[in-house]
A = this chain, B = another copy of it.
Amino acid sequence: MAEVYAARRDRLRERAAAGGSAAVLVSRPANVRYLAGAAPHGAVLLLGKGPGAEGDVLLCGRPPGDQPADGRPDEALRIQVLDAPGGDPAVAAADVALSFGADSLAVEEHHLTVARHRALGSVAPRLRLTDLGAGVEQLRLVKDEEEISCLRIAAEIADQALGELLESILVGRTERHLALELERRLVDHGADGPAFPTSVGTGPNSGRGSHRPTDRRVEEGDFLSVCLGAAYRGYRCEIGRTFVIGTSPADWQIDLYDLVFAAQRAGRESLAPGAECREVDRAARHVLDSAGYAEGLAQVTGHGVGLEIDEEPQLAPAAMGKLDACVPVTVEPGVHLPGRGGVRIDDTLVVRPEADGGPELLTITTKELLAL
């Protein structure tokens, strides 16, 4: 893996050099992890001029082994632990950049606070601070096969946890307990932990995006919506399903389910390298719009996943840009009828060209309307 991280750093270094900056300071934790293999709390990564790991330093407030961290830092990286407790590794990095002979430093202005940026400027007034922008996020967009295989395992774990829940008795249990049970099962099956807080909504709470579980108990006749995901080696996936509790769903439940299913399928089927993000959103949204549910739809129908659960690209009406091959995204339209509940269906897929069989579905739990 060391070569992978070094190669990523080299790509970033090239971009920054093209932008006129000799040294680069990465502070956003997911970006640090992407480039260094781990992001100890508060650590920042300084990239020097030379290629390879030489000159690159991971600056930490505390020794990386002394604290919880996903992953281990790339062994090829120099690690520098601050002497002074409570110091800011980003400020210390400015000093190191000066010692490299750098005259400019590209920083992540979308992550550094005004106060930290000012502190950097005042310890190293000779250093010209420029903006790296979303340089690392852009590198992170297209995943390599190693990353996709972590996502595939994360999705398998989520499928397993969900599958086991479906075999248990649900009526009478609270949303909160079902959510905790799912999170326990994720860990049982090898997840680092949940990829995000598990959402369980029943009855009037079903179908709402990122509903926080309450003490409402599952009742006969309810819709039950579940959205969960596993984190595996830092990579996060997402699956959402809606079920009916009891033997036979009501007609309105079947109709609403079929509609959301059709919308979600339309979104999935429009995933392809070169497809406009807003067209994917439109494909799913149009199905719900035409059925009269334009009001109250979520602002996005999907989003990228990776080291963070909500990454670029956004699948939304005003989204710019096109999809590439090897970009994992969710497709997750839903309809919620206030007071009655609703349906939400959510998969994680990897965009693949037609020649490779089209989009790769990572979350394979059935999307039939199950009556539990």
Contacts and interface: CB of A to CB of B under 8 A. Distances in A.
A67 B131 CA distance: 33
Contacts of A111: 113
B210 A68 contact: yes
Interface string A2-33: 00000000000000000000000000000000
A212 B180 contact: no
A59 to B, nearest CB: 16
A172 interface: no
Interface stretch (A114-122, A153-161, A228-236, A347-355): A114-122
Contact of A318 (B86, B208, B212): B86
A295 to B, nearest CB: 12
Given A114-B113, A115-B110, A184-B184, A316 B86 contact: yes
A171 interface: no
A339 interface: no
Nearest to A112: B114
B187 A180 contact: yes
Contacts of A68: 197, 199, 210-212
Nearest to A117: B114
A138 interface: no
Interface in A37-84: 62, 66-69
A183 interface: yes
Nearest to A296: B66
A176 interface: yes
* 7 shortest interchain CB distances as A-B pairs: A68-B212, A85-B299, A109-B114, A110-B115, A109-B115, A114-B117, A180-B184
16 contacts: A62-B299, A67-B209, A67-B210, A68-B211, A69-B212, A85-B300, A85-B316, A85-B317, A86-B318, A109-B115, A114-B117, A114-B131, A115-B131, A180-B180, A180-B187, A193-B197
